[in-house]
């Protein structure tokens, strides 16, 4: 029985092998038939892509420059192509929850008195609450100041009058007491002078009297008796500064006693460049008169808060011309008067008219 099974299995294997051979032969015949079909078909030799000429025409059109006409608003305002008009919104009114959009061109000014067109022309964003106070070009002047002065807010070299940014920071003074001390006769006069401390000017009259009457003061005296038209102090404090012009005798009434007496008065010329003036002093003034004869050299410490000079102090003596920025350009400004609280400055405006500006300290 076992041998019969083996024979059956062998027979089945033989049949399977015959079937595989036939299947392989039939497939190879089919491939040859297909290849024969392809080989017999000659195909096309034209490799041009259909519609290629349209692509060339299109590329030529794109490569050529296209000029777009700049559109304008009904008010004849040019509008940049592809750029819309930026809209802003007002804060909601009382009782409302929604903010209303506004057109910076057509609606009312966002920051009166500056018109909205000014912001657009200068390409400055007016959308900040403090836009008028901002300094776009960092020249020390705000947008509002530039608008009012008709200068460019985006050009640091274009700015309003610098005098408007001048600050009076400090006050300095040097006092001196010039004393007509004696006279031996015509053309024989003697003088002495002493420099006073900065605190003297602000001291009380009684304190000033006491100080000038002190025996500890160190005077610079004339070396000898001098006459008219003579340099009073050839050396020391006051050197080459004061010239004796003349001496005149006058009647003087004492305010306390109402008595009249005669006294000599010397006319002194101050030769300092910023002074160039004459003043008169009495011979041997009493204690109450002495403080009235004291004179001062006053100086203002100034700061220009613009044009890159912010925070930089510079000094100008009273009645001295100066420039802005300091040390640059013509001396177009005159420090006419200096006091502990204010300075008075003279200058000419663009029309040539003399203007006077008072600036308070700090």
Q: Which two tokens stand for residue 56?
A: 């060339």
d(CA 220, CA 176): 11
The closest alpha carbon to 136, from 120, 154, 112, 123, belongs to: 154
- pLDDT at position 79 is 61
Phi, psi of 278 (to 5 degrees): -115, 145
- pLDDT at position 49 is 64
Strand partners, 295: 176
- pLDDT at position 19 is 58
- pLDDT at position 100 is 74
- pLDDT at position 284 is 94
The closest alpha carbon to 104, from 113, 90, 112, 116, belongs to: 116
Strand partners, 342: 360
d(CA 123, CA 142): 15
- pLDDT at position 75 is 60
Q: Which two tokens stand for residue 37?
A: 């079909």
The closest alpha carbon to 242, from 200, 195, 279, 209, belongs to: 279
Sign of the torsion angle spanned by Cα atoms 195, 197, 198, 201: negative
Q: Which of the residues in the chain have pLDDT under 70?
A: 1-49, 51-52, 55, 59-68, 70-71, 73-88
- pLDDT at position 319 is 96
Q: How far is CA 212 from CA 54, 171, 203, 220, 270, in A?
A: 108, 23, 12, 14, 21
Cβ proximity of 169 and 301 under 8 Å: yes
The closest alpha carbon to 119, from 91, 88, 143, belongs to: 143
Q: Which two tokens stand for residue 12?
A: 């089945």
DSSP state, residue 162 = G
Nearest-Å Rg of the Cα atoms of the chain is 50
Q: Is the peptide bond before 123 cis (omega within 30 degrees of 0)?
A: no
Q: How far is CA 75 from CA 44, 79, 268, in A?
A: 65, 11, 72
Q: Angle CA(211)–CA(213)–CA(219) in degrees, nearest 5?
A: 85
Cβ proximity of 178 and 346 under 8 Å: no
């Amino acid at each position: 029985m076992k041998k019969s099974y083996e024979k059956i299995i062998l027979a089945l294997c033989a049949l399977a092998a015959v079937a595989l051979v036939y299947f392989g032969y039939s497939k190879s015949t089919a491939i040859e038939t297909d290849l024969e079909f392809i080989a017999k078909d000659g195909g096309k030799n034209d490799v041009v892509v259909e519609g290629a000429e349209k692509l060339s025409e299109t590329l030529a059109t794109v490569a050529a420059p296209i000029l777009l006409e700049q559109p304008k608003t009904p008010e004849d305002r040019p509008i940049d192509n592809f750029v819309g008009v930026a809209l802003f919104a007002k804060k909601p009114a009382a009782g409302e929850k929604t903010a209303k959009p506004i057109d910076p061109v057509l609606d009312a000014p966002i920051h009166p008195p500056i018109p909205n067109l000014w912001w657009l022309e200068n390409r400055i964003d007016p959308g900040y609450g403090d836009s008028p106070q901002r300094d776009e070009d960092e020249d020390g002047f705000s947008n509002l100041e530039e608008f009012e002065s008709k200068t460019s807010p985006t050009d640091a070299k274009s700015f309003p009058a610098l005098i408007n940014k001048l600050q009076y920071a400090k006050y300095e003074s040097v006092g001196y007491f010039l004393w007509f001390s004696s006279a031996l006769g015509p053309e024989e006069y003697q003088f002495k002078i002493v420099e006073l401390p900065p605190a003297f000017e602000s001291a009380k009259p009684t304190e000033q009297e006491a100080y000038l009457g002190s025996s500890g003061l160190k005077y610079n005296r004339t070396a000898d008796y001098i006459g008219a038209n003579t340099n009073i102090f050839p050396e020391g404090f006051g050197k080459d500064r004061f010239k004796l012009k003349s001496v005149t005798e006058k009647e003087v009434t004492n305010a306390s006693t109402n008595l009249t007496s005669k006294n000599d008065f010397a006319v002194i010329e101050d030769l300092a460049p910023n002074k160039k003036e004459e003043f008169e002093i009495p011979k041997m003034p009493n204690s109450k008169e002495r403080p009235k004869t004291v004179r001062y050299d006053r100086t203002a410490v100034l700061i220009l808060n613009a044009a890159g000079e912010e925070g930089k102090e510079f000094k100008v003596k009273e009645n001295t011309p100066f420039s802005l920025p300091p040390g640059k350009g013509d001396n177009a400004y005159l420090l006419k008067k200096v006091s502990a609280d204010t300075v008075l400055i003279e200058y000419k405006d663009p029309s040539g008219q003399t203007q006077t500006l008072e600036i308070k300290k700090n």
